[in-house]
Amino acid sequence: DIQMTQSPSTLSASVGDRVTITCRASQSISAWVAWYQQKPGTAPKLLVYKASVVERGVPSRFSGSGFGTEFTLTISSLQPDDFATYYCQQYSNLYTFGQGTKLEIK
């Protein structure tokens, strides 16, 4: 099975900061990665798919990149609404989610 390892598990940042979350796959998965945002008590929300395609309606401060085994989600300028938990997901071979990155207010 393909494993997805996210880092960091917790990230403290301030409004206006640029933040990057990394996801590493245990084997090459081309660009078959998606990113989600989840707030407490709600379902995950799709942000990015195919590693770098931003879902319609998602603010332009969110971007994704990567290919092969290393992928990143970047938020260019943190807004108060962005403090949440973020997950990566591979869909190269079935599906696997990362363990999550909790983005906290510093």
Write out the residues near another protein by the rule CB under 8 A: 1, 32, 34, 36, 42-46, 49-50, 55, 87, 89, 91, 94-100
Task: Name the residue nearer to another protein (CB basis): 83 or 91.
Answer: 91
CB of 88 to another protein, least distance (A): 10
CB of 16 to another protein, least distance (A): 28
Task: Name the residue nearer to another protein (CB basis): 61 or 100.
Answer: 100
Task: Name the residue nearer to another protein (CB basis): 5 or 79.
Answer: 5
CB of 74 to another protein, least distance (A): 18
Task: Name the residue nearer to another protein (CB basis): 78 or 87.
Answer: 87
Written in H, E and C, the secondary structure of the chain is: CCCEEEECCEEEECCCCCEEEEEEECCCCCCCEEEEEECCCCCCEEEEECCCEECCCCCCCEEEEEECCEEEEEECCCCHHHCCEEEEEECCCCCEECCCEEEEEC
Characterize the bridge pairing of strands 33-38 and 85-90.
Answer: antiparallel
